[in-house]
A and B are shown apart, each in its own frame.
Chain A
Amino acid sequence: MPNKTFFWFFLPTGLAMILFIGLPIISTGIQSFYAQHDQVVKEVKKCDPFGCTVSIVVDNEETTKLREAKPLGKFNGFGTYVDRNHLAIDEIKKFWNETESFGAFVDQVTNLPFYKALIFTLTYCLFVTPNVLLLGFIIALSLNAVARKIRGPLIFGTILPMIVTPLVGSLVLFWMIDSQGIIGANIQNLMNDPYLSLKSSKTLTWITIIIYGIWHHSPFAFVVFYAALQTVPQEPVEAAIIDGASRFQRIKHIVLPHIYPVVTFVALISLMDNFRVFEPIIGFSAEGSAQSLSWLIYDNLVNEEVILFGSAAATSMMTIVGIAILLAPVLIRTWKEFKTAR
């Protein structure tokens, strides 16, 4: 496509992207450098049905004046980024100097909210993405091999997990793993431990969420791989069969190289999706044991009665940076291939 055609072709999409993705990100970025004004409080008498007390309230007149003068708040620079609830630079320095062994240092660092969330998010990505790719590929290969008559219903059944809303899917599993639910009770029986609870143990909660993630995301990989498999040319496959290549050899040397660009695409998309893991944490009520970066943002915005815009904005920006870092190797590789292909 000539560059000029491409430009006009892309323009509407580009404008929409700037409007709905670019500008909000810029606005979030600016927000992350600001904190609330210093609160002006005053002592007043408060009376309710249980009696009167003297205590403090926010002085709204003074606050309004401050807000009108500087609507964005107090400039805080990278203050929010480095505070204890985010990168915690000072705390980490302190731990480094105070702790005696490296293990103790790691313990202290992983106790900080941002790093706790980062570790869960990365673990989730690292376990879910490869398994989704593998499982999706295996399902696609198997379905490609079954008789055409039953293929339709089988495909429909396979993509069901993707059709089910994440929240509903996780809630169903949540009730099943309850200590009185069908899975939870059976595991207790098997292990002969009446106190075993999938929901109270951190490790088991993580495993549950990861398994749920694989279950939910595999159909996506399957659909894309299945479509790609339809484009594999038959001649080389037949030639390979005549040459006596086994099924495994055919897949390794013919099918995989052919659908390789699609694999990269699925890997990219799942990495991005998984880094933003959020719904299962809410669905499983797993806030106690598993927190992700997206959950931190949600927590700052809604869980407190006071909304922390600065904190939420800073975590959002760091999530974007995180995704960029994760995707960098794949993107660089694609770029190189793109160049050599020319």
Chain B
Amino acid sequence: MRKILVTLLFLLFGTSAFADCNIKSGSINILANDFPALRTFVETSKQCKGSADFKVTHSSEHNKIAVPALTANPSEFSARIAANSSIVPLMNQDLIRPLDDLVKKYGKGIQDSQLITIDGKVMAVAFMANTQHLYYREDVLKDLGIAVPKTYEEVVAASEKIRASGKMQYPYAAAYKAGWNLAEEFVNMFIGHGGEFFKAGGAQPNINNAKGVATLNMLKKLSELSNPDYLTHDSEAIKVEWESGNVALMTLWASRSGTLLDDEGDPNITEATKLTGPATVGGGNIPAATLWWDGFTLAKNRSDADAEATFRALAHAASNKKMVADAADQAVWLVEGFVPGPKSIGVIEAVKMGAKPYPMLPQMGLMHGALGSEIVEFLQGKESAEQALKDVEAAYISKAKEQGFL
């Protein structure tokens, strides 16, 4: 009895003493994207807020808010959970502060590999990795005697076979929503073909070539095997398609696997849903996918007290072994103590296959934007691949000139 009591007391006080980082003052306000792993991360950091104010905004529109909100002085948010692409505009506008002093003082549990250093200064602390990879329906592939596809050419062949069998009309799905999502699929496929977005040593575009054409043709083949509304489908929409059993092969973010494989929805579909690495394309040996990290950055236009409070709370989560053990299914954590589970296989395979990280270049956002709107007409069959690529380059050049990159 006494033993139980002691254990209970230990649990009660042990956890609270462990969680509270004894932050006395300051206010914490976090801007983050909205998916389960990030919610877990922010919740974990909240446990240690002490007597500091704590606010959080989870929004899938985070990219649109970030720059204006951090430009204000004092800025609306004290921290922004960013990724390799979204840290770039913050760097371009000089909106985030170096973290070296705070890492030295409070970053005990953070591993060196988590630090994002630019020009020798720590600008962000990463806590999870992400990529887009293949998901497949084991039952459907088995029934038709199809091997798990390793290349996009095999994905196309497999999808055609599934369609011919009459099992599914639109067997393939990927987030092809015009705009950011569609451009991201182009980026993946172009990198899979071994393409470089810019001519060496400058900001001149370099996509109107054979690799660009091959990329577009592959995207078109895949789109023809997708639901005809593909231009309006984002990650959430294709997840719904998958859960309704309309799709047998899908390219989706690793971070979405948690909600895809949870208890909601048809248990037969959930059970037959399997994960594998990203596919290669065009005989290349690196996957047609980009590696991403998610990490936290601190706003420059905030007081030192706020920065300190925010860093301590977030560092608590970014070095929390309990969190990565409890939420091992939600993400591929970069935090010490993470044991990869079956849902991490996509990212781990991608790293093994030598996938490249998303290009962290100051002008990449402009290229991404131009791709998102200019390749739509090619997919709709209104324009040739060469014309579409020419349009992308022209749109990019005008914007890059206005922005001072060319």
Contact = CB atoms under 8 A, between A and B. Distances in A.
Contact of A308 (B120, B360, B399): B399
A28 B178 CA distance: 28
Contact of A303 (B89, B180, B291, B359): B180
A91 B88 CA distance: 31
B98 to A, nearest CB: 11
Contacts of B86: 305
B404 A35 contact: yes
Nearest to B351: A50
Contact of A200 (B126, B129, B368, B380): B380
Contacts, number: 166
Given A111-B383, A179-B229, A199-B232, A56 B361 contact: yes
Contacts of B387: 111
A178 interface: yes
Nearest to A196: B228
A60 interface: yes
B334 interface: yes
Interface residues of B, number: 65
Nearest to A60: B94
A85 interface: yes
Nearest to B120: A45
A202 B403 contact: no
Interface residues of A, number: 59
Contacts of B360: 46, 48, 55
A288 B402 contact: no
Contacts of B365: 304-306
A193 B405 CA distance: 48
Contacts of A50: 129, 291, 293, 351, 357
Contacts of A49: 113-114, 126, 129, 293, 334
B336 interface: no
B351 A57 contact: no
A294 interface: no
A178 B233 CA distance: 11
Interface in B356-406: 357, 359-362, 365-366, 368-369, 372-373, 376-377, 380, 382-383, 387, 391, 394-395, 397-399, 401-405
B107 to A, nearest CB: 15
Interface stretch (A36-44, A247-255, A259-267): A36-44
Given A46-B119, A174-B232, A303-B180, 9 more contacts: A35-B401, A38-B404, A44-B119, A49-B293, A56-B361, A84-B395, A84-B398, A200-B230, A302-B63
Interface of B: 63-64, 67-68, 84-86, 88-89, 91-92, 94, 113-120, 126, 129, 169, 177-180, 227-232, 291, 293, 334, 351, 357, 359-362, 365-366, 368-369, 372-373, 376-377, 380, 382-383, 387, 391, 394-395, 397-399, 401-405
